[in-house]
Amino acid sequence: MCGIVGYVGHRPALDVVVGGLRRLEYRGYDSAGVALLDGQGGLSVERKAGPLANLEAKLAQVDAGRLTGTAGMGHTRWATHGAPTDRNAHPHRSTAGDVAVVHNGIIENHLPLRAELEAAGIELTSDTDTETAAHLVALAYAGADGGAATKGDLVASVRAVAGRLEGAFTLLVTHAAEPDMIVAARRSSPLVLGLGEGETFLASDVAAFIEFTRDAVELGQDQVVTITREGYTVTDFAGEPVGAAPFRVTWDLAAAEKGGHDYFMLKEIEEQPTAIADTLRGHFIDHKIVLDEQRLSDQELRDIDKVFVVACGTAYHSGLLAKYAIEHWTRLPVEVDLASEFRYRDPVLDRSTLVVAISQSGETADTLEALRHAKDQKARVLAICNTNGAQIPRESDAVLYTHAGPEIGVAATKTFTSQIAANYLVGLALAQARGTKYPDEVAREFRELEAMPAAVAATLQNLDAARALGRELAGSKAVLFLGRHVGYPVALEGALKLKELAYMHAEAFAAGELKHGPIALIEEGLPVIVVMPSPKGRAVLHAKLLSNIQEIQARGAHTVVIAEEGDETVRPFAEHLFEVPAVPTLLQPLVSTIPLQVIAAEIARARGFDVDKPRNLAKSVTVE
Ligand code: F6R
């Protein structure tokens, strides 16, 4: 959460920074701000509560002469400490105004630091944890904290202050007296460096600078990085130089633009066939499933006797689906945990346990901490992630990347279906290692997965009625979702999409539970969306769900049914029927999810909401 961008180069920094913030706004949009170094000792800060557009309107009023310079930084905020107001917007400055700081994360010991600063007579002007860092750096740079080694040395000052901070943070720091550099410190929050010709970038995400360069550098934990026009240096918090791994970003600016759609989310829904195909590509070589990174031996994989899947939100729903596939293909027991609950319930883990951490961003704090807990208990950790070089894959023993490309809409869509594909690849990799499937069976399952992009593309061709239904349901107070077997996680995901996008009460149930309580919710006109199993693949469950639909219809429910093409038995009970292609049972979620995404987006649009930026949410949740 929070997006950060820093630039030292030859272009007008304001344009680069504001352009970068535009692409990082998915990380938070409570306020935005910029700090610009004019190269002659001037440091200007402008900030404004609300989305970036508010800041841009303010910048348009400001004397342009003040906002010149080719070095600067910016911030788009998802508020943690302090309300989303102008005074709490970043950048925060020292009392003399010569130091500016932007921050992503939480400084957990900010209260004692605040007390220490106040005792020294410094007046803090915001409610944020971040402001403490600005004052501490200013004191260190001035040598006023007794630190002779930091006096007049911005890098040493930032290092010294970073060493005092607890919690998770990425800090970018500028000093008016150092107009040609930005110094950053990083612990457990994302930061990536971009390298251009005579220009260097820092950002929470490569999307911020992809327009200018695809050459990036991964930064590690507890590191301080200094950027100048000429390049960069990286040290640890003790000042020892450390290496950093360059990489080339595989997607470009066009992938991060809306491509003719009103919202990124709508474009991302359309991109699902490509995202799934790209996720599968290159993972079946010489008749074997291969992961992207594997620091586990075949023997270690064979020794696995239990699997836990940990994830949050949509990624958790994909994890629920992983359970069906992994148990079916490997006969290993699989538990799926909300990452935020995992370590607090003291799960039974040892070196023959595999923990699969699923995260689009690779930086979700709950998932990262669950992974760290698993590693402390000697479990093996495999990450499924959409972000190259993020913290979760870096700390894992094996990695499979979903190659969904950048997902800017805050609600996960293409990364959900890509995660499902990746989960199934992991299931097949385990089945292959353990010999619970013959090579030709693994090959057959993979071929079936490979056919899915076409099935998803066919589903996408047929969504006008789903859009119309979305508009029709916009006035509803609540919507229920029912599913069974792999249709149940799909129902959960459908309900989550509706909650987060349309701010509507939405609840999903395993249909077998209906008579154990939830049926009491059914009343005249209540929309109930049912994800039907295949009448061929899951005939027994299909029959049971058919009875459930009749029961709720008899009680006045407005029935909306997602069913396999040619499933005529359900037609008489469906007021709205959406057909999806017939595919193997485990793969049905890849198609049945699509109409639910579209219905949720359409309801939200009809209610007048911004589907890319739902209220109160941020794309990546880097605080617990
Ligand atoms: C919902 C959504 C969230 C994320 C969750 C985990 O549309 O996007 O529920 O799925 O916050 O995020 P990652 O996958 O980045 O760990």
Rounded distance between C-alpha atoms, residue 8 and residue 10, angstroms: 7
pLDDT(559) > 80: yes
| Cα 538 to ligand 1 centroid, rounded to whole Å | 30
The mean of the pLDDT values for the chain is 94
Rounded distance between C-alpha atoms, residue 188 and residue 438, angstroms: 41
| Catalytic pick among 2, 385, 437, 497 | 2
Q: CA 402, 405, 408 angle in degrees (round to 5)?
A: 120
| Cα 357 to ligand 1 centroid, rounded to whole Å | 12
Q: What is the mean pLDDT of residues 167-171?
A: 91
Distances (CA, A) of 276 to 57, 155, 252, 422, 459: 39, 44, 18, 9, 14
Which protein residue's CA is at the shortest distance from atom 9 of ligand 1? Answer: 313
Percent of the chain's residues with pLDDT above 90: 82
Q: Tell which phi-psi region holds residue 41, choosing left (phi > 0), alpha (psi between -120 and 50) or beta.
A: left
Q: CA 255, 261, 266 angle in degrees (round to 5)?
A: 85
pLDDT(309) > 80: yes
Distances (CA, A) of 194 to 14, 424, 474, 509, 575: 17, 33, 43, 46, 53
Residue 621 lies in a domain: no
**Helical ranges in 295-404 per DSSP H:** 298-302, 313-330, 339-342, 365-376, 391-394
Q: What is the pLDDT of residue 455?
A: 98
pLDDT(568) > 80: yes
- End residue of a domain, out of 450, 468, 483: 450
Q: Both 227 and 365 in a single domain?
A: no
Question: In the structure, what pLDDT confidence band is assigned to residue 64 with cuts at 50, 70 and 90?
Answer: confident
Rounded distance between C-alpha atoms, residue 374 and residue 395, angstroms: 11
- End residue of a domain, out of 224, 252, 280: 252
Q: What is the mean pLDDT of residues 341-359?
A: 96
| Cα 411 to ligand 1 centroid, rounded to whole Å | 7
At 319 the three-state DSSP class reads: helix
Residue 363 lies in a domain: yes
Half-sphere exposure (Cβ direction) of 611: Cα atoms closer than 13 Å = 27
Residue 48 lies in a domain: yes
From 621, 622, 623, 624, the mutation candidate for ligand 1 (largest count of ligand atoms within 8 A of CB) is: 621
Q: Both 21 and 148 in a single domain?
A: yes
Number of domains making up the chain: 3
Looking at residue 149, which CATH number applies to its domain? Answer: 3.60.20.10
Question: In the structure, what pLDDT confidence band is assigned to residue 140 with cuts at 50, 70 and 90?
Answer: very high
- 312: annotated active-site residue: no
Half-sphere exposure (Cβ direction) of 84: Cα atoms closer than 13 Å = 17
Q: What is the pLDDT of residue 67?
A: 87
Contacts of 75 (CB under 8 A, 6+ apart): 2, 3, 4, 5, 21, 32, 33, 34, 47, 89, 90, 91, 102, 103, 104
Cα 141 to the chain's mean position, in Å? 36
Question: In the structure, what pLDDT confidence band is assigned to residue 491 with cuts at 50, 70 and 90?
Answer: very high
Residue 617 lies in a domain: no
Q: What is the pLDDT of residue 615?
A: 85
Looking at residue 376, which CATH number applies to its domain? Answer: 3.40.50.10490
Q: What is the pLDDT of residue 596?
A: 98
- 515: annotated active-site residue: no
Question: In the structure, what pLDDT confidence band is assigned to residue 170 with cuts at 50, 70 and 90?
Answer: very high
Q: What is the pTM of this model?
A: 0.82
pLDDT(220) > 90: no
* Angle separating helix axes 272-280 and 452-460, nearest 10 degrees: 170
Q: What is the pLDDT of residue 432?
A: 95
Atom number, ligand 1, closest to the C-alpha of residue 367: 16
Residue 241 DSSP class = B
pLDDT(239) > 90: yes
Q: What is the pLDDT of residue 389?
A: 77
pLDDT(624) > 80: no
Question: In the structure, what pLDDT confidence band is assigned to residue 387 with cuts at 50, 70 and 90?
Answer: confident
- pLDDT for 241-280, tens place per residue? 999 889 998 878 877 777 778 899 999 999 999 999 999 9
Which protein residue's CA is at the shortest distance from atom 3 of ligand 1? Answer: 313
Q: What is the pLDDT of residue 177?
A: 96
Question: In the structure, what pLDDT confidence band is assigned to residue 530 with cuts at 50, 70 and 90?
Answer: very high
Q: What is the mean pLDDT of residues 556-582?
A: 95
DSSP for 258-278, please give it.
-TT-SSHHHHHHHTHHHHHHH
Q: Both 281 and 242 in a single domain?
A: no
pLDDT(465) > 90: yes
Contacts of 96 (CB under 8 A, 6+ apart): 138
At 413 the three-state DSSP class reads: coil
What residue numbers bound the domain in which 177 lies?
3-252
Rounded distance between C-alpha atoms, residue 495 and residue 506, angstroms: 5
